[in-house]
Structure 1
């Protein structure tokens, strides 16, 4: 049977890694599928025999062309420096016994028992030179992920290696780096034009950098992003700890293709910095941005010790109340750490244009959902809301009434259901000793079903309903839920 490799790749997603390995010897088609699966994503972090073998395999163009995703963490440079005796002619490979924690007297015996490695390096520079040549020769690489934090002993040495995969085929770049390391990567990238990246994901940390040096590096980063004005469509910004990013936002030139922005806001002051920087950036892209994702974070440093929801809420209110995005259609807000009132302000700000909403991350009471649905139905919309993912919540017949009334034009509704009650205000009852095996009282849910059987929403245009939950009773047959909602909502075509 002759099928395209893409089809076989989808088939083997349902197979175990061991079964995939057995495909190598079946025929040429299975061999290529298995090889594509094996080399489509590779990672280099610590210096090891396995790393050297993979590098040697990538010198073969037939193997190199299979790589699509690359992860690099330059600890291998530190490993090489730590184990290299620059005054000795002894190769790095002959010292792998030491890398493995073996004593010098055992080294020769162990090397005799293992196959000779295919690449030899006399110095750390030799290793990096070979890596640069190999990683710059991955013709079909599309996604590149860099992690470079810490490792003070390696200085700027890894920069040339980390910059080498920046080729024309690259589509997505994720940089999880400290600011002081970022300046080395940016300086190296000036020697060659960047590929026409469509996505940049920035996760920025701070090590021991003085505040007066922030702006210089942020301006370098802004120039790099601005150079992608003819290709960049998605930008993600996340900070390990709060600091002022306003110089970055203010210095980025207009990106005419940018249609998706994702922001992770640190919990404590100064959050993302002076709100004017982000306000100006968002308003400058009012005619292109169609998707906005907002969340808060408390990953490290001050955000863990001094986070303040009131201060975060004040920053968000000051920022998003002054933003106008005339083409925004998709809004996603994670309520985990984000104050409800500030999230609601964002919904109200963009309610006239959004057709897709994700509003999840924290439990929503009926009163919260009343305010949310009112914010989306009380103002005149260019286009009605077409899809929404909301919750977790307690589903009651009265809440279904509210959705049917306020979201009458919606096509797809996904609700993260924590429990079911027959009347709004009832307290859900559960049985079971532990959270893992708790089920809601079956009688209570039966009364919910009975109440819903008396309801009918002929004007509701809902065609897709997903009640995602691990809480409400597994004892109840899913067909009962499907049957009652299909009777209530004549337009319904898909129920999950």
Structure 2
């Protein structure tokens, strides 16, 4: 193909081509042509991290973003601002108001460079620190193309320092509010009011993820959730497509769910919450929420973590899976992730009954309990599950499995395309005894001989499985490789194993 024809390829075609190239190589393609220069620059500067000016990497980011051409490339902004709190608090209101008035304007390159150049890092005097913070705030005013904003509480820094960074967070909101599509929060509810202005509206917000906890027992978590978090979500109920809530503490979420407005475009919902017992944890709000959005949800993640030690049990614990929130019909659900953490192992036995309602609709199923399933639990789940052949991806933890697990899966899940299996190991039909004077290497060699004998006659050429990820919890990498090679020989259709091409194992 002539060079002129290649050079005239549309931008979208070049973008498609480089999507197959590793990111670290894409960043070096800026000298090839003008199109690849822009793609390389977008990859180099798509993410910005604002944390602590004492950290060399952050100082480097300030210098990088001082150039407007670089600042305009930022699409993902990470704010972990607590270390800056005391410095920001010393910036005068007059300076802050001046910066707020310049929002939406590209920061003047000469001004920012003038502020930065006189300093030799790390800055030591209070005047230098104040000017450095001003330059940082000036840069943030120009990040008007940011589509993803992440606000996190970093390390051991106090909540009071985080509160002092409110001006920085407000500047970020105002600078990129018109184009923001994704927002991630990860900080205690104690400072939620500092982050969410009461009238904040992001016209293009599609994804909202919040991970929260409570720092002080005096904080009324329910009051903060209802007065700050709820209005923010409801302000964006017409545009939200994905909602994620994560808390492992004891938070009463039922009132929040009951007051949420319907989200007509919501397709993905993820919930991680602490659970005490059916008598003390109210899931009626979750039931209402799932019922209201049953017509749009295609992806659902539910993670329940038992709180307290030992486990809190009540008369209804045997009927745990009969809670109304777990019986809502979700006809369009295609991806389900379900996890139980610190629950009694007996709950895994009942999991198969709960999952039967999705036998003919799910294309992806993920089960990761803190206590892995038994092989019998897995058998109860998959028998009859893949009759329709729609399940394409399965990710599961199983304690130990026999070699015949591939018989079980190939027969019951003939359309399975990707399998991610984590296990304690394979058990053979003939038990391999371990004697006191036996070394681990000798024991493994005996076991491997038996394992290969059982795997050798097995073959699944007609199975649709193409991608296998197999992890062992308690075997060395050297020993695992012998198992993987034997397994691959029985699965001629598998193209990748643990993300590597098949040929890498022979």
TM-score tier after normalising by the smaller chain length: 0.7 to 0.9
Match of 1:205 among 205, 213, 236: 213
In 2 relative to 1, CA 29–268 (structure 1 residues): closer, same or farther, beyond 3 Å?
same
Match of 1:318 in 2: 323
Distance between the aligned counterparts of 1:262 and 1:112, measured in 2? 46
Match of 2:383 in 1: 374
SS at match of 2:150: strand
How much does 1:233 deviate? Answer: 1.4
Match of 2:397 in 1: 391
Map residues 314-353 of structure 1 onto 2, 5 A cutoff: 317-338=322-343, 339-341=347-349, 343-353=351-361
Match of 1:407 among 387, 409, 413: 413
Match of 2:502 in 1: none
SS at match of 2:70: helix
- TM-score (structure 1 length as normaliser): 0.73
In 2 relative to 1, CA 269–218 (structure 1 residues): closer, same or farther, beyond 3 Å?
farther
In 2 relative to 1, CA 62–208 (structure 1 residues): closer, same or farther, beyond 3 Å?
same
Map residues 446-461 of structure 1 onto 2, 5 A cutoff: 446-452=452-458
Residue by residue over 1:445-496, the C-alpha shift from the partner in whole angstroms, topping out at 9 and shown as x without a partner, is: 221223425xx78xx6534252513556423683x5434333xxxxx46463
Distance between the aligned counterparts of 1:288 and 1:280, measured in 2? 14
Alignment RMSD (CA, Å): 4.4
- TM-score (structure 2 length as normaliser): 0.72
How much does 1:417 deviate? Answer: 4.9
Distance between the aligned counterparts of 2:446 and 2:287, measured in 1? 46
State whether residues 305 and 340 of structure 2, in contact with CA within 8 Å, keep that contact through their aligned partners in structure 1.
Answer: no
Match of 1:308 in 2: 311
In 2 relative to 1, CA 343–125 (structure 1 residues): closer, same or farther, beyond 3 Å?
farther
State whether residues 198 and 228 of structure 2, in contact with CA within 8 Å, keep that contact through their aligned partners in structure 1.
Answer: no
Match of 1:466 in 2: 468
Bigger drift between 279-288 and 218-227 goes to 218-227
Distance between the aligned counterparts of 1:465 and 1:77, measured in 2? 46
Match of 1:214 in 2: 222
Match of 1:246 among 248, 254, 276: 254
How much does 1:42 deviate? Answer: 1.9
Match of 1:66 in 2: 73
Match of 1:226 among 216, 230, 234: 234
Distance between the aligned counterparts of 1:481 and 1:429, measured in 2? 24
In 2 relative to 1, CA 258–392 (structure 1 residues): closer, same or farther, beyond 3 Å?
same
Match of 1:48 in 2: 54
State whether residues 432 and 439 of structure 1, in contact with CA within 8 Å, keep that contact through their aligned partners in structure 2.
Answer: no
SS at match of 2:285: helix
State whether residues 72 and 147 of structure 1, in contact with CA within 8 Å, keep that contact through their aligned partners in structure 2.
Answer: yes
Map residues 83-122 of structure 1 onto 2, 5 A cutoff: 115=120
In 2 relative to 1, CA 147–345 (structure 1 residues): closer, same or farther, beyond 3 Å?
farther
In 2 relative to 1, CA 329–211 (structure 1 residues): closer, same or farther, beyond 3 Å?
same
Distance between the aligned counterparts of 1:217 and 1:372, measured in 2? 37
SS at match of 2:262: coil
Bigger drift between 310-319 and 438-447 goes to 310-319
Which ranges of structure 1 fall in alignment gaps of 5 or more residues?
Answer: 87-110, 487-491
How much does 1:183 deviate? Answer: 1.8
Match of 1:280 among 275, 288, 297: 288
Distance between the aligned counterparts of 1:222 and 1:439, measured in 2? 59
Aligned residue pairs: how many? 443
SS at match of 1:443: helix
State whether residues 330 and 354 of structure 1, in contact with CA within 8 Å, keep that contact through their aligned partners in structure 2.
Answer: yes
Match of 2:101 in 1: none
Bigger drift between 28-37 and 158-167 goes to 28-37
In 2 relative to 1, CA 161–272 (structure 1 residues): closer, same or farther, beyond 3 Å?
farther
Residue by residue over 1:253-285, the C-alpha shift from the partner in whole angstroms, topping out at 9 and shown as x without a partner, is: 111111111121225469995211111011111
State whether residues 421 and 428 of structure 1, in contact with CA within 8 Å, keep that contact through their aligned partners in structure 2.
Answer: no
- Asked if residue 145 in structure 1 is aligned to residue 180 in structure 2, the reply is no
In 2 relative to 1, CA 175–216 (structure 1 residues): closer, same or farther, beyond 3 Å?
closer
Match of 1:173 in 2: 183
In 2 relative to 1, CA 12–422 (structure 1 residues): closer, same or farther, beyond 3 Å?
closer
In 2 relative to 1, CA 343–153 (structure 1 residues): closer, same or farther, beyond 3 Å?
same
Match of 2:84 in 1: 77
Residue by residue over 1:339-398, the C-alpha shift from the partner in whole angstroms, topping out at 9 and shown as x without a partner, is: 414644542343343232112344333211221123736xx96x7433322333544354
Which ranges of structure 2 fall in alignment gaps of 5 or more residues?
Answer: 93-115, 498-506
Match of 2:193 in 1: 183
State whether residues 142 and 171 of structure 1, in contact with CA within 8 Å, keep that contact through their aligned partners in structure 2.
Answer: yes
Bigger drift between 133-142 and 307-316 goes to 307-316
